[in-house]
Amino acid sequence: MALFSSHQSPPSCHLFKSCLTFVFLALFKSQTASSALIMSLRNHHRHPPHRRPMFQTNQSSCALFSGTWVRDDSYPLYQYSNCPIIDAEFNCQMYGRPDSEYLKYRWQPLNCQLPRFDGVVFLSKMRGKNVMFVGDSLGRNQWESLICMISAAAPQTQTQMSRGDPLSTFKFLEYGLTISYYRAPYLVDIDVVQGRRVLKLEEIDGNGNAWRIADVLLFNTGHWWTHKGSLQGWDLIQSGGTYYKDMDSLVAMEKGLRTWANWVDTNVDITRTRVFFQSISPTHYDPSEWGDGATVTTTKNCYGETAPMIGATLPNTYPDLMRVVDEVIGEMHVPTYLLDITMLSEFRKDGHPSIYSGDLSPTQRANPGRSADCSHWCLPGLPDTWNELFYTVLFY
């Protein structure tokens, strides 16, 4: 299967393939769950490109994003000590996290088995390509995770890294593969005008020009639209030629996302580039979300949590923001796949750096109720699962 082809086979060809698939499945009922996943995803990618964009969670017979966390002692997929590119704020084991059970969980979809991530396969299939993560620091979290996962499978491969703002790159030189991170927490442009940060809801070319080189684009945004006070990333919002001191966060996010969607529809060549959008990563600052399952040491947030939520009734995380995301993606012309990681991540109250972040001072670590990071994720950790799902959808 060509990863970047437009798949423009005639309808009769699709019918013939479907018939063969039916006969194959009838003859081989004992086919494994993993094989069933591979077959369903391959059939999914053979749909004509003019169909509605893919943003549903179910992949034919496999609901990738519905399932449970199961213990698996073959995890993690790499060790922090063998991946020096991990930022201090994500490097929980290096900065004193005493437990390690949170590393031993694997995501199990309801009715299929995820293919095991293979870094050598990733390198081979993506030879000469550019994969770019675009968004906020959760995108950087996932970018570093993918680099570590690939590097663990090919430790002798020569690499080159360049960190910058907004663009950082990591190259696997032997394979001509570049994996980049472009910092754009709102996706749209934000400029400094007369000393004030102006969020420009209808402008994106300042960021977008850097995205044109990518063969695979994985976008994310969300948290920064809800930040207030000292965490707010802008001083003024510009929209329709008018400057605003404040704007409803949902209204602003929708305007920004529609500008992003228009850029994708206008600039992405679907015969060359695949587009993904990662749903919003949950935070765990409120123990009432997991009720009686919270550990005794937890008073205000994720601090002290060492296991996933099991059998919990989860809150509907970011329903309004995700509604906006669904609506915008659903109206796009360029197929944009939604990696719907929100709910599966909601279970992982144990996966955050908490106080075990290299960005915190000893004084801050002594006050977990105020300083714990329950937004980002430890590496190794949950972003590795995001990348296992990304790998599955990308190649199967």
Q: Which residues are catalytic?
A: 137, 373, 376
Q: Give residue 218's region: left, alpha or beta (phi > 0; psi -120 to 50).
A: beta
Do the Cβ atoms of 312 and 321 come closer than 8 Å? no
Other beta carbons within 10 Å of 346: 22
| CA–CA gap between residue 189 and residue 206 (Å, rounded) | 6
Beta bridge partners of 59: 62
Structure tokens at 10: 């005639």
* 20, 67, 236 from 179: Cα distances, Å: 37, 29, 33
Token reading at 9 = 């086979």
| C-alpha span between 45 and 395 (Å, rounded) | 10
With CA atoms as reference, report the closest residue to 216 among 297, 275, 139, 302: 275
Q: Is the dihedral of CA 68, 69, 74, 77 positive or negative?
A: positive
Cβ atoms of 216 and 129 within 8 Å: the answer is: yes
> Are 345 and 388 spatial neighbours (Cβ–Cβ below 8 Å)?
no
Residue with tokens 């002692």: 73
Q: Which residue blocks in 268-365 are alpha helix, DSSP H?
A: 319-330, 342-346, 362-365
| Distance, CA of 37 to CA of 218 (rounded, Å) | 22
* Alpha helix positions (H), the chain: 11-27, 33-45, 119-125, 137-153, 205-208, 223-226, 249-267, 319-330, 342-346, 362-365, 368-371, 382-395
CA distances from 225 to 211, 255, 337, 340 (A): 22, 11, 22, 19
Angstrom CA distances, 104 to 75, 112, 343, 379, 391, stand at: 5, 20, 19, 13, 20
Burial 195-213 (b: 16+ CB within 10 A, else e): eeebbbbebbeebbebbee
